[in-house]
Amino acid sequence: MLLTDRTAIVYGAGGSIGGAVARAFAAEGAHVHLVGRTRATLEAVAADLKDAEVAVVDALDEAAVEEHLAGVGDVDISFNLVTRGDVQGAPLTDMPVDDFLRPVINGVRAGFLTARGAARRMAERGSGVILTLNSGSAHGSPMMGGTGPADAAIDTLVRNLAVECGPRGVRAVGLWAAGVPETFTVEKLSAVNPAIDEAAVQGIVDNLAGMRLTHRNPTLAEVAATAVFLASDQAAGITGTFVNVTGGMVLR
């Protein structure tokens, strides 16, 4: 197994992608800490795992993040998948400033706090991997509100972490994963774009597939398998970059 005896923290483990990644990490031998703001969703993921712990932590709360890390001890893998409060579906010229800035501020704050805390501990031991995920929208995605700027900030954070922490044995890597259909529900999408119904969801899925070089949408299993690889020693030469799991929808 690729992650035997590794300790992994998955922030946002109660979400669709977070849960899939946590399950994949556990299947490869990792001891997984499931972290998020809603105990019920975290415990639903934990029920599928033999070696997992649940903690309710707000990744935007510096003291809470540090307190949890102190309780975990040694960390080998830290993966940030927390939601940012993105609002989409409206032109930038019609968007309230708070809706635009929320994903930027939340995304950078959570990404920084979780990565900083993990990197400090990893650097002391001379090894570790910091992972994150975004949609790869930094290079221009219309009607996406603050998503593109938020992704751009996280992309830069990952690269700077890799530069600074690499000499101390810590890798920083990201994944671009956009529009995984298994994560789509009317409830979830309407939180981002209120003008969503069942027909709109299916239309989005079909449209996304047509935008990809593969002409098919990536699956949760594929995203999770990529995360496992990047967290493992098999990816020891990969840092300071993002791995494209969008099926070629993003070409940067």
Per-residue pLDDT, 51:
84
pLDDT-wise least confident of 10-14, 18-22, 130-134, 181-185: 181-185
pLDDT for residue 10 is more than 70: yes
Share of the chain above pLDDT 90, in %: 79
Strand partners, 55: 35
Rounded mean pLDDT, 105-114: 98
Asked whether the beta carbons of 197 and 186 are under 8 A apart, the reply is yes
Which residue, among 170, 152, 178, has the nearest Cα to 231 in the 3D structure? 170
Query: What contacts 167, CB < 8 A, 6 or more positions away?
Result: none
User: Rg (Cα) of the chain, in Å, rounded?
Assistant: 17
Most confident stretch, 171-175, 198-202, 211-215: 171-175
Model confidence at 181, pLDDT cuts 50, 70, 90, reads confident
More confident site: 182 or 79: 79
Which residue, among 36, 65, 75, 32, has the nearest Cα to 51 in the 3D structure? 32
Per-residue pLDDT, 97:
97
On average, the pLDDT of the chain sits at 93
pTM (whole model) above 0.85: yes
Model confidence at 63, pLDDT cuts 50, 70, 90, reads very high
Which residue, among 118, 228, 110, has the nearest Cα to 175 in the 3D structure? 228
pLDDT for residue 203 is more than 90: no
Interatomic CA distance for residues 46 and 52, integer angstroms: 6
Q: Just give the CATH number of 7-244.
A: 3.40.50.720
Per-residue pLDDT, 224:
98
Per-residue pLDDT, 168:
98
pLDDT digits (tens, 9 = 90+) for 207-229: 888 889 999 999 999 999 999 99
Q: Give the residue carrying structure tokens 């300790």.
A: 7
Rounded mean pLDDT, 142-150: 93
Question: Taking the mean position of all CA atoms in its chain, how far away is CA 134?
Answer: 6
Rounded mean pLDDT, 169-176: 98
Q: Where are the domains of the chain?
A: 7-244
pLDDT digits (tens, 9 = 90+) for 35-60: 999 999 999 999 999 889 999 999 99
Query: What contacts 131, CB < 8 A, 6 or more positions away?
Result: 77, 78, 79, 80, 172, 173, 174, 175, 227, 230, 231
Rounded mean pLDDT, 133-151: 92
Per-residue pLDDT, 189:
67
Model confidence at 190, pLDDT cuts 50, 70, 90, reads low
Interatomic CA distance for residues 224 and 227, integer angstroms: 5
Which residue, among 178, 245, 187, 230, has the nearest Cα to 205 in the 3D structure? 178
Per-residue pLDDT, 252:
67
